Chain A
């Protein structure tokens, strides 16, 4: 399914990034980082119309030749970015949405851990297990 799952802090630094082909990790880092441009633009576009509820799911951020990048921003401005391969046509918008929901739930569960300080890098094994479940189904 996904080839890269990432959680980005409110201040835009990475909290968690996992990629499947680990040898090309850096490229995915750049992909996720550059996608923040679009995320920021989309989030700020909503802010202008004020007090209407923003949908957390931002949809397809931008397509590249090989990958599609999807974004999701929580109300606390934590960003989730998922990269899937363009060749993977089985993934519909709905599947992506449910992936994000799952990821959001996992993040919230992780955040409830009293030993986790918000803003720290995510090292939770349970969280990683859920992320792996979203990535491994090839």
Chain B
């Protein structure tokens, strides 16, 4: 069909002006060779678009026909001559350049000038009648001088131009120096300008013809002239003008009178011009224009299919138009255009393929092979036509409505049909489809892509490449199945079945049969019956019947395949994955429970249901588990051959399935001891069809069953039975749920664990827990082991502050938060063990303590004795609380509360314990560990708390007298206070524990003076009470003091009333008074007022705090008087 649809090469190439270089001897002259190379090699896109050719100086150019002066009697024979484009692209130059070796200082200038002029003349003569530009290039050895300096050169150039009748602008100099390429590019640009003016002139020349034309006889010329003008403009690289004229030309085409005899020619030229328009539009980045033009083009010519005998020609042409446009579109996308889902090259490739399919069908309908040889051959000139698109047997008869010779016409048509018959259409269609597939894939149209793949597969089928068809089609069935377009799937599967039959592929054949007999497939029942019978035949090693609709020859070649391949000597076993298809047999397998205890048998149920038209017998059913040792328990085999029809009643191994009846197979087995705690999963279910020894198809379901439909998105769960569509749903089947894994759990323990303890736990104490384990089994238990410890997953603070010890209350500083696997001796039924555990918590908070007991016991199940290990655990929630609070107070010797102490002055430290434990606690003692900054006033006193016992909220305190020696630091640490205690209720075996607290810091103040008052604890009325005040100077300076002793009503006294004194550094002064109490009771002492001259006013309060202010005066005792 190349004559009617292909685009000629000269149309497809990019038109470039033709420049002929003469006078270059590229074979023998090295300089000429390098010049030529610089013109033609490495033409990068930035160089001017010109086509260079080297020709001899005396080359004959195509003759120019004498121009017609009038078009009056001229009747054109066709639209565009087939050689015109080629002529102007490669034969008729726009510029002829004559290269000539000549220097300005040439000795024999005159002779050379004549020689050059002669050459120019020869060229001019051979171009007679054409307006081709002529230029001369002088190849010179020397570099030129700057213009205006070389007078000889200017003069000689002028004379040369004169001699050659050349304008000065057409004379060039090419110095053969280092910068050859630079000169070449400048020359090239000059030639380019010349060529443009040539093509411009040619186009104008044609334009002038227009006025001679009339609409009646010269319609063709309107098209031709516009086409030529456009092409010249394209040569000139003026694509915008070219596009304008191509469009005009196209417009004229549509006005042509069309009839069967000239339609092909018109369509072909229209196709050419349309190609140019679309291409230029894409080039100008106007894709919408291109698309609109193409649509217009197709809409106009779509229905003009010409002679009915050659209708395939029209389809071929249409196909080519679409393909051409798709190629252009694709090309434009590669250049940066973006396409969208509904407008991209794939759509056009698809249409091209559709027309190619139509062409094939028309060809099959119209062409019939015949051996008749027609002579003379009407197609002799098919490739050498004068005008594009004309019939070779009647060229030049463009305008006649009827063919000139009816008989000849008939021969011609028949000859064309014979040519068409030889075309292998499938190989035209398939590449188009595959281009379309690639495009649709790119533009997010998966379904369209799949549809095209189906078409491709069918085309392969028609092309008898059944293996390819098989692979291609089997790749797309999945998606149609998943989307449940059963009617489409049916059609594809039918083709697949034929392919599988024709290539003798048993596995594919069986797979397709399995699916084609299901209820979803919309075949007639007879068809399904036939398929099932064939399936049974194949599995019984008999050849199946041929599929209807296959090519008979291929059926003959396929028949031996089915016989030879499958001798029963070597078994042919293959597996078919059921999750990929929707087979006629459905399977649901389940464990009856989600978990089994180790002493019970595991039960598996497998339900099968078929939907094929007839009962079918399978050979074996097996459940494949992840623990393969149990697989032997999960297998059932049917001994009957596949084609034995009768149902054997009540046979356990019966795998004869009746359509739409649910069959259940039950398997059970006991687990081994090692597998306790594991989970058992079904890896799959395997159902075999056919004998293992001859031919067997293993239908394999992954997990517990389910096929391609039920395993796709979980809509099924929302509306059971809905997805199955119009097929009546079977609630009994639908309610079966697959359960493909189960857990084996340990046997429940029958021991009793009792934990005795008295919560809450007190921080630091050894908390006593008593664990009682009693055996409730019917048999003795052994290998008993107990673990006690902090529950896993507690925070790290709890882990580090909880110590567990079994047997004894000990703690060596190493925290062990779990005691595991403490073994205990065997225990008879009804007996019990006791276990003591001590827990020491170093911090308050909540703890979870696990007590776990594991043991072994012998159990008899179904006659067998099994050793089962059992386990039981108990979790305790323990709250840990502080046993008591310790508050520490400081007080002056007068028991006034103070916050800072005076250096060298004694003070009191009073720790107070407040019990917060709900259980009474006993205190063994306490110790005060003083820091080096403090010391006891006197000896260290014994603890005052020994043996004290506290109930909740009761308090205990002690008191000790301390003194702070002078130190440099303003605050000092005091030390630690430790209490030894335990719960009162516990036995003696539990040791006392220590709880220590830091006493914190105290500020030490330095006072310049210290006063010690030496006075009795009490006085008696009218008895002399001596009082001594000792004043110590604690500074390094002499201190002057002024003292006054105030009078008091309660006392008479003797001593200094008022005095001024001086105390030397580090020495003291003693003031002595004799007081005589007058009244009894708690009375105020006479107030001693001291005034230090160095610290006026500031010392008063400090001094007063050092002095006793009151004293208790007893009355005179009666007993004393009595005695």
Q: Which residues of A contact B (CB under 8 A)?
A: 11-14, 25-26, 29-30, 33-34, 36-38, 41, 61-62, 64-65, 117-121, 123
B178 at interface, CB cutoff 8 A: no
Q: Are B491 and A26 in contact (CB under 8 A)?
A: yes
- Name the contact of B725 in the complex, choosing from A36, A61, A121 (C-beta under 8 A): A121
Min Cβ gap B1088→A in Å is 92
- Give A117's nearest chain B residue, CB to CB: B722
- Name the contact of A11 in the complex, choosing from B341, B491, B713 (C-beta under 8 A): B713
Q: Are B485 and A62 in contact (CB under 8 A)?
A: no
Q: Are B719 and A30 in contact (CB under 8 A)?
A: no
Distance between Cα atoms of A106 and B118 in the complex (Å):
93
Q: Are A33 and B723 in contact (CB under 8 A)?
A: no
- Name the contact of B342 in the complex, choosing from A62, A65, A117, A123 (C-beta under 8 A): A62
Distance between Cα atoms of A62 and B721 in the complex (Å):
35
B-side contacts of A33, CB under 8 Å: 447, 451, 483, 485, 488
* Top 9 closest pairs, chain A to chain B, by CB: A13-B484, A119-B722, A37-B445, A121-B726, A34-B448, A34-B447, A37-B447, A62-B342, A30-B451
Residue tally, chain B, CB below 8 Å to A: 28
B661 at interface, CB cutoff 8 A: no
Which of B351, B485, B488, B719 has the most C-beta atoms of chain A within 10 angstroms of its own C-beta?
B485
Which of B446, B483, B726 has the most C-beta atoms of chain A within 10 angstroms of its own C-beta?
B483
- Give B718's nearest chain A residue, CB to CB: A119
Q: Are B719 and A119 in contact (CB under 8 A)?
A: yes
A-side contacts of B237, CB under 8 Å: none
A-side contacts of B451, CB under 8 Å: 30, 33-34
Q: Are A123 and B483 in contact (CB under 8 A)?
A: no
Q: Are A12 and B487 in contact (CB under 8 A)?
A: no
Chain A proximity mask over B428-446: 1 for CB below 8 Å, otherwise 0: 0000000000000000111
Min Cβ gap B301→A in Å is 12
- Give A121's nearest chain B residue, CB to CB: B726
10 A–B contacts, CB within 8 A, in A order:
A12-B483, A13-B484, A13-B485, A30-B454, A34-B451, A38-B341, A38-B342, A38-B445, A41-B341, A64-B351
A-side contacts of B713, CB under 8 Å: 11
Q: Are A117 and B719 in contact (CB under 8 A)?
A: yes
B762 at interface, CB cutoff 8 A: no
B-side contacts of A14, CB under 8 Å: 484-485, 487
Distance between Cα atoms of A13 and B491 in the complex (Å):
16
Min Cβ gap B565→A in Å is 33
- Give A30's nearest chain B residue, CB to CB: B451
- Name the contact of B445 in the complex, choosing from A12, A29, A34, A120 (C-beta under 8 A): A34
Q: Are A29 and B722 in contact (CB under 8 A)?
A: no
- Name the contact of B487 in the complex, choosing from A29, A61, A64, A117 (C-beta under 8 A): A29
Min Cβ gap B71→A in Å is 41
B207 at interface, CB cutoff 8 A: no
- Name the contact of A120 in the complex, choosing from B341, B483, B725 (C-beta under 8 A): B725
Chain A proximity mask over B321-343: 1 for CB below 8 Å, otherwise 0: 00000000000000000000110
- Give A62's nearest chain B residue, CB to CB: B342
Min Cβ gap A83→B in Å is 15
Distance between Cα atoms of A36 and B448 in the complex (Å):
9
Chain A proximity mask over B686-716: 1 for CB below 8 Å, otherwise 0: 0000000000000000000000000001010
B-side contacts of A117, CB under 8 Å: 719, 721-722
Distance between Cα atoms of A30 and B726 in the complex (Å):
21
Min Cβ gap B320→A in Å is 15
Distance between Cα atoms of A14 and B485 in the complex (Å):
7
- Name the contact of B447 in the complex, choosing from A11, A36, A65, A123 (C-beta under 8 A): A36
Distance between Cα atoms of A59 and B417 in the complex (Å):
44
Q: Are A26 and B445 in contact (CB under 8 A)?
A: no
B302 at interface, CB cutoff 8 A: yes
Min Cβ gap B820→A in Å is 55
- Name the contact of B444 in the complex, choosing from A11, A37, A119, A123 (C-beta under 8 A): A37
B817 at interface, CB cutoff 8 A: no
- Give A39's nearest chain B residue, CB to CB: B447
B-side contacts of A30, CB under 8 Å: 451, 454, 488
A-side contacts of B484, CB under 8 Å: 11, 13-14
B-side contacts of A41, CB under 8 Å: 341, 444
A-side contacts of B802, CB under 8 Å: none
A-side contacts of B715, CB under 8 Å: 11, 119
B-side contacts of A123, CB under 8 Å: 726
Q: Are B302 and A26 in contact (CB under 8 A)?
A: no
Known: A37-B341, A38-B342, A62-B347. A119 touches B723 (CB 8 A): yes
Distance between Cα atoms of A117 and B446 in the complex (Å):
30
Min Cβ gap B742→A in Å is 32
B-side contacts of A34, CB under 8 Å: 445, 447-448, 451
A-side contacts of B351, CB under 8 Å: 64-65
Which of A11, A37, A64, A119 has the most C-beta atoms of chain B within 10 angstroms of its own C-beta?
A37
Min Cβ gap A125→B in Å is 15
B354 at interface, CB cutoff 8 A: yes
Distance between Cα atoms of A58 and B715 in the complex (Å):
26
Min Cβ gap A47→B in Å is 15
Distance between Cα atoms of A38 and B347 in the complex (Å):
13
Distance between Cα atoms of A30 and B490 in the complex (Å):
13
A-side contacts of B485, CB under 8 Å: 13-14, 29, 33
Distance between Cα atoms of A30 and B492 in the complex (Å):
12
Min Cβ gap B646→A in Å is 38
Min Cβ gap B318→A in Å is 9
- Give A65's nearest chain B residue, CB to CB: B351
- Give B721's nearest chain A residue, CB to CB: A117
Known: A29-B485, A65-B302. A37 touches B448 (CB 8 A): yes
Distance between Cα atoms of A118 and B351 in the complex (Å):
38
CB-CB contacts below 8 Å: B365-411 with A: none
Distance between Cα atoms of A117 and B444 in the complex (Å):
33
Min Cβ gap A131→B in Å is 17
Distance between Cα atoms of A119 and B725 in the complex (Å):
7
CB-CB contacts below 8 Å: B440-481 with A: 444-448, 451, 454
Distance between Cα atoms of A33 and B723 in the complex (Å):
18
Distance between Cα atoms of A119 and B351 in the complex (Å):
35
Distance between Cα atoms of A133 and B956 in the complex (Å):
104
A-side contacts of B347, CB under 8 Å: 62
Min Cβ gap B222→A in Å is 30
Q: Are A61 and B488 in contact (CB under 8 A)?
A: no
- Give B340's nearest chain A residue, CB to CB: A41
Min Cβ gap B518→A in Å is 15
B-side contacts of A61, CB under 8 Å: 342
- Give A61's nearest chain B residue, CB to CB: B342
Distance between Cα atoms of A119 and B719 in the complex (Å):
9
B-side contacts of A38, CB under 8 Å: 341-342, 445
Min Cβ gap B472→A in Å is 16
Distance between Cα atoms of A25 and B522 in the complex (Å):
13
Q: Are A118 and B341 in contact (CB under 8 A)?
A: no
Q: Are B488 and A118 in contact (CB under 8 A)?
A: no
Q: Are B722 and A120 in contact (CB under 8 A)?
A: yes
Min Cβ gap B1110→A in Å is 87
Distance between Cα atoms of A58 and B351 in the complex (Å):
24
- Give B303's nearest chain A residue, CB to CB: A87
Q: A30-B451, A36-B447 are in contact. List 5 more A-B contacts (CB 8 A).
A: A29-B487, A29-B488, A37-B341, A37-B447, A65-B298
Min Cβ gap B715→A in Å is 6
- Give B725's nearest chain A residue, CB to CB: A121
Q: Are B446 and A37 in contact (CB under 8 A)?
A: yes
Q: Are B719 and A13 in contact (CB under 8 A)?
A: no
- Give A36's nearest chain B residue, CB to CB: B447
Distance between Cα atoms of A93 and B721 in the complex (Å):
39
Distance between Cα atoms of A124 and B723 in the complex (Å):
18
Which of B302, B347, B725 has the most C-beta atoms of chain A within 10 angstroms of its own C-beta?
B725
A-side contacts of B719, CB under 8 Å: 117-119
B-side contacts of A118, CB under 8 Å: 719, 722
Distance between Cα atoms of A121 and B727 in the complex (Å):
9
- Give B355's nearest chain A residue, CB to CB: A65
Chain A proximity mask over B485-502: 1 for CB below 8 Å, otherwise 0: 101100100000000000
- Give A15's nearest chain B residue, CB to CB: B725
Distance between Cα atoms of A34 and B719 in the complex (Å):
27
